[in-house]
Amino acid sequence: MVITSLLGALPGVGADILFLLWGSYSIDNTTLHRFYSLHYTLPFIIFILTMVHFGLLHEFGSNNALGLNNSVDYIPFVPYYGLKDGLSIIFILFIFFCFVIIAPDKLGHSDNFILANPLVTPVHIVPE
């Protein structure tokens, strides 16, 4: 509500944009369906755009920093960038799976291992 209401502060078109975004004059089922649909489809859109980017990089190659068309500085995507990207992905997945499989509680907070006691209030909960 707060974040989407910021668009209503735009002079002139803010109320229209807010109505278009919400689908009503307040947050309703329509708004939730729109945001869920966006939340669900956005990763697929990002994946497709990434694959298009890789395809274009593979087809046309990388460019130099000055933007000059010089075939001497041409570096092909495969094997150089493809190998580098593949090894980076393998390294990141290795670190990720080390935490997931070997030490899943390594990044957890120590308070998560205290047994729940309904008679004792946790230390960090204090009255104002």
Catalytic residues: 58, 62, 84-85, 128
111 Cβ contact list (under 8 Å, min separation 6): 122, 124
Total Cβ atoms within 10 A of residue 22: 20
Residue 112: phi and psi, rounded to 5, are: -70, -15
- Provide the token pair at 103: 């030490």
11 Cβ contact list (under 8 Å, min separation 6): none
Q: 25: buried, middle or exposed (CB in 10 Å: 19+, 13-18, 0-12)?
A: exposed
